[in-house]
Amino acid sequence: MKTFSIKTDPLTSEEYLEVYLRGRQVLNDPFLNKGTAFNEDERLSLGLSGLLRSCISDIETQRARNYAMYSRTEGDIEKYIFLQALLNRNETLFYDLLCHHLTEMLPIVYTPTVGQACTMFSHITREYRGIYISPDTIANIDSIFSEVSLPDVRLIVVTDGERILGLGDLGSDGMGIPVGKINLYVAAGGLHPACCLPICLDVGTNNERLLNDPLYTGHRKTRMDGAEYDEFIERFVLGVKRNFPNALLQWEDFAKNKAFRLLERYSERILSFDDDIQGTGAVALSALMTAMRIRKERFRDQKFLVIGMGQAGIGIASNIYAMLLEEGASAEEARSRVLGCDLPGLLMEDSPELNRYQEPFAQRRSAVAGWKLASPGTISHLDVLRNAKPTVLIGVTASAGLFSAEVLAEMAKNHDQPVIFALSNPTSRSECTAEEVARATKGRGLMAAGSPFPPFECEGRRITTSQVNNMFIFPGLGLGALVSNATKITPGMFLAASKALSGMVREEQVAQRMLLPDLNDIRHVAAVVAKAVACVARDSGLGRLLSDEEYERVITKAQWQPRYYPFRAGDKFMI
């Protein structure tokens, strides 16, 4: 049910929206609602006369008014609710406000506040966004998709809510994540909000708190699994292909056992990627590239310890492994330099808990012969630190405080500038804080975190901690894939994105030990990443044959700026 179309006047080349709604229906549509910014002609032609006060405001005045209200709102959850209410009332104004205050509002619309919001989503949701598909409605998927009012869906972010950030199974309350990711696609990447659709696959939950909560609004049954779940996903994907054949599908916050399987099964069948595996791996690799640039060393000079070998850990380890091979390491050398720890300890080739996605990083028994162990029969991460002496430590465990003072002291012994990434989010789940790393290494450590930490003083200098935020990669990657009409997403596209991102860290930022660019440059970052991805798509025969300069022009034009389009009343009603 299309409520508007984006058109161009053949005489004046003016872009405008042809609107098929009238009166309060226009005001109730968040993408069409301009509030006090409707001009006199629009008020007359769309039946808005008498529904609005006489003052006509521009978007700058509206932004100032809403920022003043936002600033008076106390508490992060309350600020989140305020912004979501604005998004559901006036989408263009929401993005204009977000883009002008991105670094301030990013922790509210996404991590860490979005995690807290998801834990109470059924209690704070005022209006529903996106599409919910359950076992009861999957048979009607074509009808559901036909009711989407967006003129051209090109991007879908989908979750089943089973592994939301580090918080676990939140059922359909996990919808806050796809909504938040699309906020970032638009604000950071410049995708047009009229082409972005968040979806939650509401297949139940095993979270007893939710099942027993009378206010929980999701599918109140235990989580679907096995062959029944696989069939549900297949029907969903086929529905996407039929109804939105040009869309990019981003898998988001699926459980480890499902995430890898879905990525394998559908990466060749539909334009898609998994942000938890590939996006996290790419941005972490970029930060590591910058760290090596600061230390004037190669990846082959390091030993890497990755703790938490789930989606993010395997994604990061796989990218490190690929870089080692690119530098000329043999497969066996690369394997020996990337050590992975999970719940049982160091992954070994004969570990009974080993899954096939972890196998490439399992160590030979001969490699640990002669190690001194605190408890014979178990190789803990502390054992690895003391015996293998890694120079890079990466945590993706959601275990707050895992990088204890003892762990950080061991890392400080292993290198003058140890690299320590505490990547779990939200902040409450971080393995350590930036100040703890600075104290343990006397300010010499190269630290990156998954959640934002404020700047602080240490050893007489101001330290700014880079946030390994997937926002540095996925908006640009998605934009590049879409403008190039890529037929699939490849590892080469992610590698190009990582290199482009690291290359944007300026020399003065390197001198300050920043590992990633400033978030204030995120629109430009997305454009540079998009060009790198589009060029790889072209060069690998998967995308349009445009020159580098042509891609730059296309990407610049594709990046939407929040503004009010002129409206014209359509000749027909689609109500």
The helix (H) or strand (E) run that includes residue 464 is: none
Of 34, 181, 256, 531, which one is the catalytic site residue? Answer: 181
202 — phi, psi (to 5°)? -85, 80
Give the C-alpha separation, 505 to 438, whole Å: 21
Active-site residue 181, yes or no? yes
Angle 321-323-326 from CA coordinates, rounded to 5° = 115
SS3 363: strand
Start-to-end CA distance of the chain, whole Å, equals 7
Q: Which residues contact 196 (CB under 8 A, 6 or more apart)?
A: 150, 153, 154, 155, 156, 157, 182, 185, 186
- Quickly list H helices, 267-390: 280-295, 311-326, 331-337, 381-387
Q: Are the C-beta atoms of residues 422 and 395 closer than 8 Å to each other? A: yes
Q: Looking up tokens 């598909």, which residue turns up?
A: 133
Of 20, 70, 80, 110, the catalytic one is 110
CB count in 10 Å sphere of residue 68: 9
> What is the rounded distance in angstroms from the CA atom of residue 27 to the CA atom of residue 90?
9
Other CB atoms within 10 Å distance of the CB of residue 66: 20
Q: State yes or no: is 110 an active-site residue.
A: yes
Contact 80, 114 (CB under 8 A): yes
DSSP string, 476-496: HHHHHHHHTT-SS--HHHHHH
Give the catalytic positions in this structure: 110, 181
